[in-house]
Amino acid sequence: MNNSNLHPTKKLGAAYIRYSSTMQDDSFSLDAQLRQINARAASEGIEIVKIYSDPATSAYKNKYRPGITQMLEDSRRGMFGVLYVHKVDRLARRLEWAIEIVKQLQKMDVILKAVEQNFNLDMPEGKLMFHLLGSLGEFYSDNLSKETHKGKYERAMQGYHNGWVPWGYTSEQVGDRKMAVQDPIAAPIALEMFERYSTGLYFDQDIADWLNTQGGHTFMKNPFTKDSVREMLQNPFYMGHLRYRGVFTTGKSYRGKGQLVKGMHQPIISEELFAQCLKVRSKRRRTKNTHQSTRHVYLLSGIIICNFCRRNLRAQSAKYGRYYRDASRFLGAHCSFPTSSVRADVVEEQIGYLMKSLILPDNWQVSLQDALEHPKDGPDPQKEKARIKGEIRRMREAYKRGLYESDEHSFWRDIESLQMQLEAVEQITPHEVRQAAVIMVGLREAWHIATLDERKVLCKMLLKDVVFDFEKKIIISIRPRSEYAVLFQMVPSLEAVGDGSYIYHFG
């Protein structure tokens, strides 16, 4: 570490800027905040050496946003002595959170200044002013939340959805309203999902494995998991109803109180089919409760695939531990390699070593800026996406007509290739890439202190898939999500293999 940064001879400052998704007018824009901060710092002879930001991020629901986390980490390294914000509510909209952040800054001898609110935290009246300003920010957010709730309630009572629509639907503007409209490709698959589950022959994980072979993904562009499938199969939206409030009180399921309202959207399934699926689940729940087992966390669930058959491996617990197993037999298919399972701790030790090795070079900021300013030339992304989607649709129609009955392996191989091509042309904004860079910079330390659940989130945040070779008992390649692709190109320990994947040579 450079000791000159720990005790700078010149007073150095930093800026933290943020706007929420509901405050994007110029008075709250990042540029407007930064202009005022730079002017104030210049007048006080302070040099702004770093800018931290959390665009379109709520400070009411999220205490430690990426920008806040990095700012606090840099304050501990002595990189600056003054932190400027536009107003106190840019730092946090909950008083207790703002106090907690300020206490951490004070421990590092960092002075907090708000350019539009004058207070001195070293003085009693300054502390009182800070608490009043923090309380006003929290009151504003509480009131805004109340008014937003009223608007959402009225919309729901009229039969219109709020926020995201479930997989199988898209949200489109119809007249002066946003309406849920069936996706012509995903809706038939959603119907078959319910039909399969209603037979009692399939479990949530079986359905998730099957959905992932159909080329779909969740709203957040993640693979389907047993948890996401469980939520979909209990969502009354699919039978043409809305449930307002109460449905997400546990954050895990659609159980709980709430008002069920007839929706204005077209149902994908009948009420009878929905009831049959609930009946199957209820019967299994009663059976499961008689012998509860310990909850296990699988870091690579949903993203680890077999090198031989290219299908997702299934996370399963057994008497002697946790395993990743080939799921081909559950899909009525076959994998060419006879050994179809591996202990989870073997794979997860490898992924942990790999994740801690994803270190960007010292000049990554320059390389990233150059990559963003000079993107590689290629075909028009929208036309290319339309072409690939059309080819996937035609192949699926041919598959349904039985044209691939004697060569199913070729069908899945070609579908996977097209899906990789489709993901490769997805347009990622510079902001998404810069946010990804923030995460990668702190990845090594985050992995060290993260819980198993948090490590699982990190794996799925960075990686589309992890390819495991049963014969060699090793991870042979990883493929990053689109926003991390340009960053993975800079990691010295990785070797690109041409299809968007990278090889890491374990020592």
Both tokens assigned to 226: 């047993």
Decide if 456 is inside a domain.
yes
Q: Work out how many domains the chain is built from and give that number.
A: 3
Both tokens assigned to 65: 């946003």
CA torsion through residues 327, 331, 336, 339, sign: positive
Could you give the 3-state DSSP secondary structure of residue 252? coil
Q: Are residues 270 and 361 in the same domain?
A: no
Range of the domain at 51: 3-144
pLDDT for 370: 83
pLDDT for 349: 92
Q: Are residues 13 and 90 in the same domain?
A: yes
pLDDT for 428: 67
Could you give the C-alpha distances from 155 to 158, 169, 234, 243, 263, in angstroms and in order? 5, 18, 22, 12, 10
pLDDT for 80: 92
Question: Rounded to an integer, what distance in angstroms lies between the CA atom of residue 242 and that of residue 114?
Answer: 44
Residue where a domain terminates, one of 275, 291, 307: 291
Within 13 Å of residue 462, how many CA atoms lie on the same side as its CB?
A: 28
The β-bridge relationship of strands 82-85 and 111-114 is: parallel
Q: Which CATH number covers residue 186?
A: 3.90.1750.20
pLDDT for 290: 47
pLDDT for 329: 61
Question: Rounded to an integer, what distance in angstroms lies between the CA atom of residue 262 and that of residue 237?
Answer: 9
Q: Which CATH number covers residue 116?
A: 3.40.50.1390
Question: Rounded to an integer, what distance in angstroms lies between the CA atom of residue 134 and that of residue 111?
Answer: 17
Both tokens assigned to 71: 């700012």
pLDDT for 172: 82
Q: Are residues 280 and 310 in the same domain?
A: no
Neighbours of 139 (CB within 10 A): 12
DSSP collapsed to 3 states, 302-363 = CCEEECCCCCEEEEEEECCEEEEEECHHHHCCCCCCCCCEEEHHHHHHHHHHHHCCCCCCCC
Read off the pLDDT of residues 86-95 as tens digits, 9 standing for 90 and up: 887 777 756 6
Q: Are residues 91 and 209 in the same domain?
A: no
Question: Rounded to an integer, what distance in angstroms lies between the CA atom of residue 168 and that of residue 190?
Answer: 6
Q: Are residues 307 and 373 in the same domain?
A: yes
Read off the pLDDT of residues 300-346 as tens digits, 9 standing for 90 and up: 988 888 887 777 888 888 777 888 888 666 555 566 666 678 889 99
pLDDT for 163: 63
pLDDT for 25: 41
pLDDT for 123: 61
Q: Are residues 280 and 192 in the same domain?
A: yes
Decide if 136 is inside a domain.
yes
Q: Are residues 327 and 285 in the same domain?
A: no
> Is the separation of the CB atoms in 481 and 501 below 8 Å?
no
pLDDT for 281: 87
Q: Are residues 436 and 300 in the same domain?
A: yes
Q: Are residues 207 and 78 in the same domain?
A: no
Angular region, 265: left φ>0, alpha ψ -120 to 50, beta rest: beta
Q: Are residues 311 and 259 in the same domain?
A: no
Neighbours of 145 (CB within 10 A): 12
Q: Are residues 119 and 256 in the same domain?
A: no
Q: Are residues 225 and 283 in the same domain?
A: yes
Kindly list the averaged pLDDT for each block of 10 residues, start to end, along the chain of length 507. Answer: 45 84 49 86 91 64 70 88 84 70 84 80 59 49 48 56 78 78 89 86 85 79 88 89 54 50 84 89 65 72 84 80 76 64 90 90 86 65 74 80 69 71 66 80 83 86 89 90 87 84 81
